[in-house]
Structure 1
Amino acid sequence: MSPEPAPPTGGPPPPRRRQRLRARWADRHALPRFGFWLLSRGTVVLAVCGLLYVLNGFLIGWANAYEVMLGITSPAGVRLQWCAWPLSLIGWAVIPAIVGAAAGYVITEQIQGHQTRELSDVLDELRRLAEPPDPPPPSGSGS
């Protein structure tokens, strides 16, 4: 008669790396709206902007790519205009839109955070702040 193996007592096995990554990806829905957009669609937009900048950096030169993206130099003034025009449009429209959206989101969150407080709580806090400070405790020097 052979001895039977003991039943496992440690609980379920730990999740595998793929399961942990899948769970983290599913948890992105719990992020705020801007964070969710940045992870889901924003990475694609920013990757396209980055790839276009790198492509232009190799084709027309890094300084020219930088100047075209910022609008310092016209895309018509560089060689290989077919790749400079999309970079110019991204620098002119897409990047300011993303920065403006991020700033607007942060400002909106701050405003909503202040609006959720009850008026009575705000008034109580203002009254407490308007009161004169308490006198200092007496010193215990004895002489």
Structure 2
Amino acid sequence: MSVPPLPPSLLPPRGQSMAVWIRRTFRSRKALSGVTQWFIDWGIPIFLVIGFVWVFGAGRSEKGWSGIYRVFTLIDRPVHVSSWGASILGWLLVPALIGGVAGHVIAARMQRVKEIATNQLFQRRGLKRRLKPPGRITFLESLHLKSAEDQEFLDRYVRRAHRGDWKKAQDHWEVLVRDVLCTVELAELDRNEALESAESVARAVMWVTGYQDKCLVCTARAHQP
């Protein structure tokens, strides 16, 4: 495969599409706690299935919403084929999910009741910090012409490592930060600190001698069988 020529200068940004915004948001979930990640990855799809079964069953049931609710909560037995799905979900899946999540949260809290991360020693975590919404992986084009340091990073990562391809550079940047967020070293940090640390580590790699002007994601995928 031929390597694209190195552009003489960094090409102007093209703007962020809705697809990229959604992808950044989804990949940034790795900065959240394990339970929150599980809820996004599995809880939301499961609840969508439950909602579909509920609506479908209510439409087919003679008793409508109240009838499917009574079947779902095991008050009445299912009398129609469409209501059997709601009955099974209400009897098996929902209690298992709620019990599993509750058990995990309680066990995690009991295990960490006397543990404290080194970065949290002697610090007060106020309400504002607790309620601060999670951030998203940085959109690289937002760093363009922001500062000399950011411009040098973009020159190395976008122009040299990805031959000026903003789209490919953004995709690989998100993958790199997402995978760094999964490391054990960042597990004890809160969602915003973890994301900031992961991006700092990802940027620092560009200044390592062995990886100057190279992309870790490109290198790994090039040697992937």
Name the TM-score, length of structure 2 as normaliser. 0.42
Give the equivalent residue in structure 2 for 1:103.
102
Higher relative contact order (CA 8 A, sep 6+): 2
2:111 is the counterpart of 1:112: yes
Query: Percent same amino acid at aligned positions?
Result: 28
Larger radius of gyration: 1
**CA separation in 1, counterparts of 2:47 and 2:82?**
17
Gapped runs of 5+ residues in structure 1?
Answer: 1-10, 118-143
Q: 1: distance between equivalents of 2:30 and 2:36?
A: 9
Paired letter, 2:26 = W
Q: Establish whether residue 72 from structure 1 lines up as the match of residue 75 from structure 2.
A: yes
1:57 aligns with 2:58: yes
AA matched with 2:90: G
Alignment correspondent of 1:139: none
Aligned equivalents of 2:109, 2:15: Cα separation in 1: 40
Which consecutive unaligned segments of at least 5 residues does structure 2 have? Answer: 1-11, 117-225
Q: Which residue does 1:35 correspond to in 2?
A: 36
Deviations 1:78-127, CA, capped at 9 Å, x for gaps: 3xx2111111010001111111122112212321221315xxxxxxxxxx
Q: How far apart, CA to CA, are the structure 2 residues paired with 1:17 and 1:69?
A: 37
d(CA) in 2 for partners of 1:54 and 1:44?
15
Distance, in Å, in 2 between the alignment partners of 1:20 and 1:84 is 39
- Offset at residue 71 of structure 1 (A): 0.7
* Match in the other structure for 2:27: 26
